[in-house]
Structure formats: C-alpha cells, structure tokens
Amino acid sequence: MTESNEASRVTVVIPCRDEEGALPGVLSAIPTGYRVIVVDNGSTDATAQVARAAGATVVPEPVPGYGSAVHAGVLAARTDIVAVLDGDGSMDPREIPSLVAELTPDVDMVVGRRRAAHPRAWPWHARLGNLLVAARLRHRYGLPVHDIAAMRVAHRARLLTLGPLHPRSGYPLALLVAAAAANWSLIERDITYRPRTHGASKVSGSVRGTVHAIRDFWSVR
C-alpha cells in the first residue's frame, strides 16, 4: 500500500476548547493526506473558524468534557484508523505516522508515552499524578503502559465497540481500562512532549486542575 493510500485511511481527531492560538500550528503539522476533525467543545473564541480556514472538518460537541469531545470525533470519522491528540501544540502531529505504522491487525491500539522536551512541558504535580495513574494501570490491569495515552492511534471500529466512556478528563484512563477488559493488544511508544504554544492548560496548568483530573481518574472502575 502506498503512503498516500495509507494516509487516506487515517482521521486525526483533535478535541478543542478555546485553542484558536495554538490550533494553526497543530493543523499545519498534520501529515499530508490525513483527514482532520476538530471537535469544538464549547469554545468562546474563534477555534471553529480557525479550524475551517485550515481545511479541517469541525464537529460541535455541546456536552462539556474531553471524553465527550473525543467520542464525538470518533463517531464522526469515516476512516478505518483514528488518531487522537490535543490541540494545544504540546504534541507533534508529525509523530503520528510512526504510531500508525505499528497498528497492525494484531495490534488494537498504539499509545504515546510522553517524553518532556523541556521542564516547563510537564509540571511536577501533573507528572506525579500521571505516575500514580500509570502505576495503577500496570499493577491492577496488567497494561504495559507508563502514561495515560495522551496521543493514541486505534482501529475506529474497535474503539466503537467499547461504547461511550468517561465524559470528562477521566476518558484516557477509562479507555485503557476498557481496553484491558476487552483483552486488547497495546503498544506504547515514546512521543515528544512540549510546552503548549498558547494559553494555559485546563488540566496541568494548575494544581487545582490536576487534582480535578485525578479525581476523574479515580472515579473510573
């Protein structure tokens, strides 16, 4: 299969709320041939307009929450493979093809393990929370992961069999727990993690935001 045909099988889903500043850089780095869906999760800025101007399909999702936005994007996708990453510029879309290349019929999902390129990319409180959650995933569910799959690539049809998961920031953990219950085969690969290019993170930008996220994580059973 040629590279162009392979790319046409991939949709990149980008859940966003108020990311008009970072989104142009993210969209310009999407590999050629990939389809792009930006899920506008109640933005009060020009996120939707910026996405449309760059050629992305915009899907509005009025129910607030990261999980709600991701699920809306997966439902709207029409390709065999779905990739998900944030719209804040902290992850490099140019690394998606290396994850896609490892998504074989025998592998259900390939997840990214963030490697901070700068100390500011990952505040101590967010890094600590991630370590605790990842340890729980390994010890309780036997998953070979050290991160919560901030960037991931999966077969769309298989994702849909898991159904709607956690509507808020607990979604990545709920996804991995559901994958473990379904006996999915997972591969974890390093990805570059950078400071977001604009604004402050809704989760890791403050201790309070991280605490709320961890509370969501621990609500997942």
Per-residue pLDDT band for 205 (boundaries 50, 70, 90) equals: very low
* pLDDT score at 204: 46
Per-residue model confidence (pLDDT) at position 196: 79
What is the structure's pLDDT at 11? 98
- Report all structural domains of the chain as residue ranges with CATH numbers, in order of start: 3-218 (3.90.550.10)
Q: What value does the mean pLDDT take over residues 167-182?
A: 93
Angle at 144 between CA 29 and CA 179, to 5 degrees: 80
Please determine, for residue 140, whether its predicted confidence score (pLDDT) is greater than 60. Answer: yes
Q: Does residue 217 have a pLDDT over 80?
A: no
Instruction: Specify the pTM.
Output: 0.87
Q: Which residues of 179-215 are buried (b: 16+ CB within 10 A; e: fewer)?
A: bbeeebebbbeebbbbbbeeeebebbeeeebbeebbe
Q: Which residue has the higher pLDDT, 94 or 127?
A: 94
